[in-house]
Amino acid sequence: MWMQHDGAPPHYAVQLTGLAICGIGIWTFLKTCHYMNILDSIAYSTAIYLFLTTGGLVILTAVLGCCAIPHHRTKLLFCYILLLVLIFLMEALTGVLSYIYQENIEEEIDLNFNATILATYNQDDGKSESINVIQQKGCIDPVTTELQTSLWLICAVALGLSIVQVFGILVGINLLLKLESIDIESKYSPNGNDALLLERQL
């Protein structure tokens, strides 16, 4: 079994990161959805939705890992590694985008926020409701602070958890190489097929 030979399976850690990303992403979305509705910022919306998409992909990848790793399925394991690479790139992109945008969000709010409120209040029910919620919290400063805090959180989580994906990639490659080595040895060993079957059953 995996636990007997290689330590804790990496897909469990990957699954935890997916749950963490989805949880934080949903919380951030619910907390700032009214700001998103008024600000109409492509960059901020992209960061949030990319973060949530990444979390969902991480969970699906962990499920694939549950099928590939314990049963030593090399083709599924290869797909698992490729998905981890994709997730790493998505997390890195989300982190960098969030970091860059939080530097510019105050300027964007100053330029567009008041104009959007004046143009849409009492004309768009959805935006009017968001405006009322925002006005209960005060002026623009709390809006800027909450959005910057949310972006910093997304940046830190995305870049931090990308390290876990690197660990998963390395462990997955190591296991894949071991399985390929067993496949090669089985071709030249009289009892190789029995050994390979036993290994995969474990």
Q: Where are the chain's structural domains? A: 10-201
pTM assigned to the model: 0.78
- Per-residue model confidence as pLDDT tens for the chain (202 residues): 343 344 445 567 777 888 889 999 999 998 888 777 777 778 888 899 999 999 999 999 988 888 887 777 888 889 999 999 999 999 999 999 999 888 888 777 777 777 776 777 766 666 777 777 777 766 667 778 888 899 999 999 999 989 888 988 998 898 888 888 876 766 655 554 554 444 454 5
Cβ–Cβ < 8 Å for 157, 98: no
The one-letter amino acid at 130: S
Q: Which residues contact 101 (CB under 8 A, 6 or more apart)?
A: 41, 43, 44, 47, 151
Phi first, then psi, for residue 116 (nearest 5°) are: -65, -40
**Tokens 């409120």 appear where?**
117
